[in-house]
Amino acid sequence: MTMTLDDKRTQLSVLNQGVGACRACPLGTQRTRAVPGEGPIDAEIMLIGEAPGYYEDQQGRPFVGAAGQFLETLLASIGLKRTDVFIANVIKCRPPQNRDPLPEEIGACSHWLDEQLGIINAKVVVTLGRYSLQRFLPGNPIGRVHGQGRKANGIWVVPMYHPAAALHQGSLRRTIEEDFRKIPGYLAEARREAQSEPAQPALAAATAAPQVEQIPLF
Ligand code: SF4
């Protein structure tokens, strides 16, 4: 059954409260603030990063530091504002010293992202960085698949380098700029499919073991 926008708002509000109270892994006692994610309840595009950093932990919002500013520049290059997309991370609490998230932390946190995906039901998921990529397309190296959208379990997944990495490497910056410009094409394809196919069920539950159904179009 299709959820109304009010249903979605209610479910997301409950989810945000749950994330705020979560202590399912040790990061829950080390964070300043949990960072569940933010954006329109009916967003067509979800951007999924890795984990909150220092500024995100302070403010409880995703992508608010330098990488966030670059992300806003990238979105502007395709005519979007950050308020047009839903932004979240694979894990919702900051790892100490911004270290990589541990497998057990990712495992403990994965149901929150599953639930967000199910509520928002976006047409395109953009993965930012390798941890997000592995969440949706495990076994695919970012260097080989960046910018190449693939349909996994009924949703278009478009892998990108993480904006923070691109900030520090000029060549990656150009690459992510070029990759971002492909997003509207994948969104257009997803919209075409949505018009020609019956409504799909919520996509989140199946993302842990995706089946890649199509090879890149662009
Ligand atoms: S990182 Fe995820 S699982 Fe761990 S405490 Fe935070 S919300 Fe809970």
At 154-187, the pLDDT tens digits run 899 999 999 999 888 888 999 999 999 999 999 9
Q: Is the CB of 91 under 6 A from ligand 1?
A: yes
Q: Is the CB of 92 under 6 A from ligand 1?
A: yes
Mutation pick for ligand 1 pocket among 99, 100, 104, 112 (CB with most ligand atoms within 8 Å): 112
pTM, entire model: 0.90
What is the CATH code of the structural domain delimited by 5-201? 3.40.470.10
Q: Is the CB of 88 under 6 A from ligand 1?
A: no
At 67-117, the pLDDT tens digits run 999 999 999 999 999 999 999 999 999 999 999 999 999 999 999 999 999
The dihedral of CA 37, 116, 7, 196: what is its sign? positive
Instruction: Give the domain ranges of the chain.
Output: 5-201
Q: Give me the amino acid identity at 46.
A: M
Q: Is the CB of 109 under 6 A from ligand 1?
A: yes
Q: Is the CB of 25 under 6 A from ligand 1?
A: yes
Per 3-state DSSP, the chain is made up of helix, strand and coil in percentages (nearest 5) of 50, 10, 35
